[in-house]
Chains A and B, each alone.
Chain A
Amino acid sequence: MEIIEIIILTFKVSGCALICSIVLGGGLGFFVALNNFTGKKQAIAIINTGMGLPPVVVGLLVLLFLWRGGPLGFMELIYTPIAMVIAQIILATPIIAGLTMAAIQAVPEKMKWQAAALGARGWNLVWLLAKETKSSLLAAVMAGFGGIISEVGAVMMVGGNIRGQTRVLTTSIVLESQKGNINQAIILGLVLITLSFSVNCCLTLIQQRARK
């Protein structure tokens, strides 16, 4: 069944992109929030701008880089799932980084003094603050996932919506509705919403258990 293939690919691409974005965005968010360096304000401004990047512009940029004649063309990644993952990472990383940064910065300064006085440094400090802000961090993950799963413009441009290779739920919905297969499009839409809902449901359960 083609639809199963599409769902599996959607899961793979979104999952990879989400994991990479959590590592990159989370790391970046912690780093910026916990360190003082010259250009910190500018870095924060760039991350915050990145939270609202237009997907088609990101798609265009990735396309330019990965295009056969482009600087990274030799890697032959254009129109592959990897290209889609790259575009989604660029979109979701700033979202996760920005929300992580905000969560860590919102920890009262006195709590950070207390953590320091106890000798929390490096990974210990990250662990302690992550536990302290776990609800907000899960919200950051949910926001990142939301951006990734619903994205269509960039993946269409860099993936090409090739049947059996780079066709995911969002791109096939666009295709089917353009072809006039409204029933097919509606079914795919329901599948997408169900998928998105169940993942967020799991994350919400974890988040609310953490609050108890």
Chain B
Amino acid sequence: MIKVLLGPNGAGKSTYLRQLMGIETGRINSAMAMVFQEPLLFDLTVFENVALGLKFRKDKTIADKVENWLKKLGIEHLKQRRALTLSGGEAQKTALARALVLEPKTLLLDEPFANLDIPSQLQLRLELKTIIIEHHIPTIWVTHNKEEALAIGEHLMIMINRQIVQEGALKDVLQKPASKEIALFLGIDNIFQGAVTQANGRFFFKNERIGFEVVALAKNNTWAIVHPEDIILSSQPLTGTSARNCLAGRIQALTPKGLTYNVTINAGETFQVNITRVSVEEMGLTPGKAIYLIFKATAVEVI
């Protein structure tokens, strides 16, 4: 299983990995192997670099294991090359082989491709992910990039200020961030700061620009999230539905996003709404047009 450790720069992700590895204390956990952001190859041949860990462990079948992993990573032809003459991608593959050859119980990856160009990043990420899944290697993969996190794994750990503040299935974390810091870091759309007030057994989220009904306990200084795909757009105010909220607004911009459109609407606060291309065409949506936003009280996340 791949656990993705996601957090902003300076959150302490690398330090956390070094702690797991035992580098910080000097008591190395030999069941783990780690790949850093830079290849950190020694001035030896590719083969010798990959063999280092096994050599230190006095392994009996060094040559076979090394050859095997060089082959799997497609760098067998480089084995006699001096490591310092490799390209960035080749060097990082060598670093990966050097960790994988140890057959670690846990593989620690500290943004292993961050220094490569984007095409190499994408390709190597895919290759490595395939290898990890094929060989069932438990992995902790650090990244500060949300898109990369989505591409890598199904299990997400969020680290902010040296603490793992949320951990769980990727979908759950994106849907239900545990705090506003997490939501802001994840770049979640339609997140508003305000307060929840209670009246006649109903709850309302309010700030000076907007107000809508929610289902949550009263809290001061709280945050509300309405996911862009949970909002219905309507040309007229809609009645006779179970949706509790109908806000009037005006379209500011339409941004195509694959098969869907991102509609930016000002309704006191700025909303992002995700709808299909067909809806945009049929409703004749253009910037400047007045529009109603409809969403359920139960669709609002209050954190």
Contacts and interface: CB of A to CB of B under 8 A. Distances in A.
Contacts of B28: 116-117, 119, 121
A119 B23 contact: no
A119 B42 contact: no
Interface stretch (A66-74, A124-132, A188-196): A124-132
Contact of B56 (A110, A113, A118, A132): A118
A113 B52 contact: no
B150 interface: no
A211 B128 CA distance: 33
Contact of B38 (A110, A116, A121): A110
Given A120-B52, A120-B56, A128-B52, A113 B23 contact: yes
Most buried by B among A113, A120, A128: A113
A114 interface: yes
Given A124-B56, A128-B52, A117 B42 contact: no
Interface stretch (B29-37, B112-120, B257-265): B29-37
A111 interface: yes
Nearest to B44: A131
A119 B40 contact: no
B34 A117 contact: yes
Given A128-B52, A131-B44, A113 B98 contact: no
Given A116-B23, A117-B33, A131 B42 contact: yes
A111 B84 CA distance: 14
A119 B38 contact: no
B142 to A, nearest CB: 14
A65 B150 CA distance: 73
Interface in A89-134: 110-111, 113-121, 124, 128, 131-132, 134
B98 A118 contact: yes
Contact of A119 (B26, B43, B56): B56
Nearest to A212: B82
A115 B30 CA distance: 12
Contact of B36 (A110, A124, A132): A110
B138 interface: no
Contact of A118 (B26, B38, B52): B52
Contact of B57 (A119, A128, A132): A119
Contacts of B98: 118
Contact of A110 (B33, B40, B53, B55): B40
A172 B40 CA distance: 52
A114 B94 CA distance: 13
Contacts of A120: 52, 56
Contacts of B56: 118-121, 124
A111 B40 contact: yes
Contacts of A116: 23, 26, 28
B18 interface: yes
Contact of A117 (B23, B38, B43, B57): B23
Contacts of B157: none
B35 to A, nearest CB: 9
Interface in B2-48: 18, 21, 23, 26, 28, 30, 32-34, 36, 38, 40, 42-44
Interface of B: 18, 21, 23, 26, 28, 30, 32-34, 36, 38, 40, 42-44, 52-53, 55-57, 98
Interface of A: 110-111, 113-121, 124, 128, 131-132, 134
18 contacts: A110-B36, A111-B42, A113-B23, A114-B34, A114-B40, A117-B21, A117-B32, A118-B52, A118-B53, A118-B56, A118-B98, A119-B53, A124-B55, A124-B56, A128-B52, A132-B42, A132-B43, A134-B43
Given A113-B18, A128-B42, A128-B52, 10 more contacts: A111-B40, A113-B23, A113-B40, A117-B28, A118-B53, A119-B28, A119-B56, A119-B57, A120-B56, A121-B28
